[in-house]
Structure 1
Amino acid sequence: MRSPIQPYLQNVLDSIAERTDGELADYIPELAQVDPAPFGIAISMLDGQTYAAGDSDLPFTIQSVAKAFTYALAIRERGLEHVLEHIGVEPSGDAFNRISVDDRGRPANPMINAGAIAAFALVPGESAEEKFAEVLQFLSACAGRPLSVAEDVFASEMDTAYRNLGIANILRAGGALAAEPTVAVEGYVRQSSVLVTTEDLAVMGATLASGGVQPVTRERVIDEDTAGHVLSVMTTCGMYDAAGDWVSAVGFPAKSGVGGGIVGASPGRIGIAAFSPRLDRHGNSVRAVAACERLSRDLGLHLMRIPEVGHLAVREAVTNTSVENDIGSAAYFRLQGTIDFVAAETVVRRMSSESVSERYVVVDLAEVIEAKSVALLMLSEVLGAFCSEGKYLYVIDPAGIYSAADIEAHGLAGRVQHVGSWEEGERVARERTEQGLEP
């Protein structure tokens, strides 16, 4: 049985794919030549389970998405107090390539070019090569696999790095740059040329969302305080001069790059990523922004609309050791707590992965406090799949969490029996068996 999450992501992608507005990053010669058509979406749970749709495994350059992670590395190695002596944390309100410094001569924040160049300069090492080796190792640790560099993009960007060199020289003159300008800019441009996929970015987002623990390898790459600080700065500064619109419409920490990628993190819940090369006037991917808006709305990810914390949703799933009575044997799934998207993912993954040979499937919602609409939709997909396999479905739901009206709305009327208790379910099953409806 297939999880309904991937088809949902495909639906999101299909609903946005026809958009062709926006332009390629034509000020970087190599990026001006990329195919504008690819589009990928991915989410990563905090245990490493990843779901994706579209061109999610297509490599592209990370560009400014790397800024958030290099900033985290600088804090890990130098300490937050030292880093704040060189880089501020205030939104600049300016485009990403503006020379924005505060009254202390520091770059306004680490998410614009000036701040990112200063952050790279704080990474351990003397030469650009030594510093970049640390950055690449850290990015790879966050992604859970070795990453590499697109050397053609690196060369192309270095050939046109005049503005970044100018920014670095100004910072160095003001005492805010902890390395020689050529060292800082060369390393900064090389980190921007690291190749990633949308799935990589989703896992990297999940690393931040989990408080610094890589979800696949379980390696702690940064501490919780650093992760929280980086997420805070991403929230206010990660989308450049569109940060206010982003917080209002989407509402989770994110960082974009002119390669077309966006990484997002819903703290304590999931990592999110989207990729498509055409950019809006702020330098953010048009399709990726639209995808994140849809995911935030559908999955309830907006930080200012915090849902109840999802409890462990599947308390008990009995399939091999069946629940039996005089009617027959049943696979029994007992849920509890508040079922939001994260909890529902646990439910559908468990139910989809179980090999159910029993004639009946019983889903017990008696201890469920609340189920979000997205959770009911996901549950309906799994129940529908069981029905298509010829199973007889019963939902025990005394509080009407998943009502008969919901069952009808999801196209399962007559296929799923809605009952108030186990005893009522047994009675209905006997009656339907006597009527020949469940032979």
Structure 2
Amino acid sequence: MKTPIPYYLAQILDKVRPNEGGEVADYIPELATADPDILGVAVCSATGHVYHAGAGEHRFTMQSISKPFVYALALQEFGLAAVREVVGMEPSGEAFNELSLGGDHRPVNPLINAGAIVVNQLIDGVDSTVEDRVETIRSFLSRMAGRELEIDEQVCQSEVDTAERNLSLAHMLRSYGIIQDTAHDAVLSYTKQCSISVDVRDLAVMSATLANGGQQPVTGEMILDADVCRLTLAVMSSCGMYDGAGRWMAEVGIPAKSGVSGGLLGTLPGQLGVATFSPRLNPEGNSVRGEEIFKLLSADMGLHLMSTERRFGVYPIREIEQTAEEAIFYLQGHINFTAAEAVLYELQQDNFRGARLALDFEQVTGFNTIGRRMLKEGLRRFREAGVDVAVIDPRARMTNLEMSDGTMVPVAEPDDYQIAGEGT
């Protein structure tokens, strides 16, 4: 059985594809040539399961999406007190490239260009060369993604050639003693950071690493301290979407970061990372279709951090009883999208080849809409593969048992299964 999650993600893309609002970032020549119709989405669970739909393998440069990760690296290297000496943590209320600083001459947060240039200059210390600093950042981001990432030198050069505003920011920072490098070297180092190339799967995994308290969910490597992830997500939640951050948190409700190449990532702490790519931007510099995708996912999956909907706090499968002919999967807790994904992944990986399969919902406390939908679609796919599927539901938790093809999920009793009857 193939999991229905990629199909669900493809449906989301189909809903937003007709939206052709916004424009590509034409102030950077290389970005101006982007195909505006490219569209992709990826999701990575905290357990390291990656799903995508659309242009999942299309590479693009991180741009400002690199900022929270390099901020996390600086926090990991130097600690919060040292980082706060040169950059604040407050929303700016201004454009990302505004030529302004706070009253103490520090950039107000690390996710606007001035703050990101300062944070970049912290890495490897003030005596680092551009080459060594950039390699430290590239290597760190590669560990976050779980593969070796590369710098798109063509995009980098295009940005350096048109970097007058960032050079102005660097001169201003240097005049107040906030950075020590020459303005040119500071901007070159920062631009190379922004020119690291990724796809939506990479970003989803990197985002899930923040969600997972610093443990890379695919490789298992512990990269960041949990406190560093918490601080980074907190800054993302208030500053990640520039002067649209307040509206974003009200409507979508998850920490996020955008980039002018068209990428957008979001992190639901403890559960998953999500990334999208679509090059058309709104006036705030955020992907138009990307924002729409996140709104749909947030509403469907109940991802809003301020949602009062219950979230599951335990692994959803209690145990599995199985013979060559039949299997019962005992579920527990509240089944939302994340829990349903874990159940479907377990079913897919279990190599179940028997003729009968049942899911026992006796210890399930409830479902949200997407959790119920995912499980019903999974059962339908098993049945199409020739498996006799049913649910054991003595508390009637699985209301509305109609599947997507209009047929009903059969309800069974434990005694209908030999393995349950034997008490194994």
TM-score normalised to the size of structure 1? 0.91
Structure 2 unaligned segments of length 5 or more: list them: 419-424
Partner of 1:40: 40
Q: How many Å separate the matches in 2 of 1:175 and 1:12?
A: 48
Partner of 1:389: 385
Sequence identity percentage: 43
Q: How far 1:386 moved relative to its partner? A: 2.2
| Partners of 2:326 and 2:417 within 8 A in 1 | no
Partner of 2:401: 407
Partner of 2:318: 315
Q: How many Å separate the matches in 2 of 1:377 and 1:259?
A: 34
Q: How far 1:356 moved relative to its partner? A: 3.0
Query: Cα gap change, 1:74/1:426 in structure 2, threshold over 3 Å: closer, same or farther?
Result: closer
| Partners of 2:240 and 2:256 within 8 A in 1 | yes
Query: Cα gap change, 1:402/1:139 in structure 2, threshold over 3 Å: closer, same or farther?
Result: same
Q: How far 1:105 moved relative to its partner? A: 0.6
Q: How far 1:317 moved relative to its partner? A: 2.3
Q: How does 1:177-188 map to 2 (within 5 A)?
A: 177-188=179-190
Partner of 1:435: none
Partner of 1:430: none
Q: How many Å separate the matches in 1 of 2:353 and 2:149?
A: 43
Q: How many Å separate the matches in 2 of 1:252 and 1:375?
A: 19
Q: Deviations over 1:311-340 (max 9, x none)?
A: 211122233x25xxxxxx422111111111
Q: How far 1:410 moved relative to its partner? A: 4.0
Partner of 1:104: 104
| Partners of 1:37 and 1:277 within 8 A in 2 | yes
4+ residue runs of structure 1 moved beyond 6 angstroms? none
TM-score normalised to the size of structure 2? 0.94
| Partners of 2:44 and 2:50 within 8 A in 1 | yes
| Partners of 1:65 and 1:261 within 8 A in 2 | yes
SS at match of 1:408: coil
Aligned length: 415
* Amino acid aligned to 2:51: Y
Q: How many Å separate the matches in 1 of 2:197 and 2:69?
A: 14
After superposition, the CA RMSD in angstroms is 1.6
Q: How many Å separate the matches in 2 of 1:290 and 1:65?
A: 18
Partner of 1:83: 83
Q: How many Å separate the matches in 1 of 2:103 and 2:41?
A: 40
Q: How far 1:260 moved relative to its partner? A: 0.3
Q: How far 1:426 moved relative to its partner? A: 6.8
Q: How many Å separate the matches in 1 of 2:353 and 2:133?
A: 56
Partner of 1:204: 206
| Partners of 2:376 and 2:403 within 8 A in 1 | no
Q: How many Å separate the matches in 2 of 1:31 and 1:206?
A: 27
Q: How many Å separate the matches in 1 of 2:353 and 2:312?
A: 33
Q: How many Å separate the matches in 2 of 1:399 and 1:229?
A: 42
Structure 1 unaligned segments of length 5 or more: list them: 323-328, 428-439
Q: How does 1:219-234 map to 2 (within 5 A)?
A: 219-234=221-236
Q: How many Å separate the matches in 2 of 1:63 and 1:11?
A: 28
* Amino acid aligned to 1:204: M
Q: How many Å separate the matches in 2 of 1:362 and 1:246?
A: 41
Q: Deviations over 1:165-219 (max 9, x none)?
A: 1111111112222433222111001111111001000000001111111111211
Partner of 2:421: none
* Amino acid aligned to 2:174: R
Q: Deviations over 1:258-279 (max 9, x none)?
A: 0100111100000110001110
| Partners of 1:67 and 1:111 within 8 A in 2 | yes
SS at match of 1:22: coil
The answer on 1:418 being equivalent to 2:411 is yes
